Amino acid sequence: MANDTQVHWLTQDSYDRLSAEKEALIANRPVIAAEINERREEGDLKENAGYHAAREQQGQEEARIRTIDDLLANAQVGEAPTESGVALIGSVVRAYYNGNEDTKETFLIGTRGEGSGKDDLEIYSPDSPLGKAILGAKTGETREYTAPNGKSVSVTVVTAEPYQS
């Protein structure tokens, strides 16, 4: 493969929000380090839940900084689509599966680690099997794709609207 780096599409708003989150996490490093040192002074580390919790938090925050670094380093910043009725990167799509309208799901076609700011909105990468199949699909159009479990799935677009943060 010539290029293993995956480009992540982000709106300017998302890019700015991720940059601010990264700066806040970096600014919190001394606070976590002080907490770890304070807990270490308490003595026996095997029995010290506060020490282990602080180390766990430090690990999670450092992992999030690395994730944000990757997203920002490989970001393609652009505007959310303005076109309705077509599934594009940055579109919120409502669709159903295998002809069953009871399976309706609403999701954003975008970058997973970026987060939509709306916890209940699932995010599918444009590089996922569903994302690849549905890109460019118009309202009412049905597309087929192979799910990770190997089964063929049909997906029908009900609506596709530009994402509003």
* pTM (global) more than 0.85: no
pLDDT of residue 106: 93
Query: Per-residue pLDDT tens for 93-150?
Result: 999 999 999 989 999 888 766 554 555 788 888 888 999 999 999 999 999 999 889 9
Query: Per-residue pLDDT tens for 4-32?
Result: 456 667 777 778 888 999 999 999 999 99
pLDDT of residue 1: 35
CB contact at 8 A, 89 and 109 = yes
Residue 67, CA distances (Å) to 20, 42, 75, 90 in order: 14, 33, 12, 20
pLDDT band at 165 (very low <50, low <70, confident <90, very high): low
pLDDT of residue 114: 58
pLDDT of residue 2: 40
CB contact at 8 A, 108 and 116 = yes
Query: Per-residue pLDDT tens for 76-90?
Result: 777 666 778 999 888
Q: What is the DSSP string of 60-128?
A: HHHHHHHHHHHHHHTEEEEPPP--SSB--TTEEEEEEETTEEEEEEEEEES-GGG--S-TTSEEE-TTS
pLDDT of residue 6: 61
Higher confidence at residue 47 or residue 85?
Answer: 85
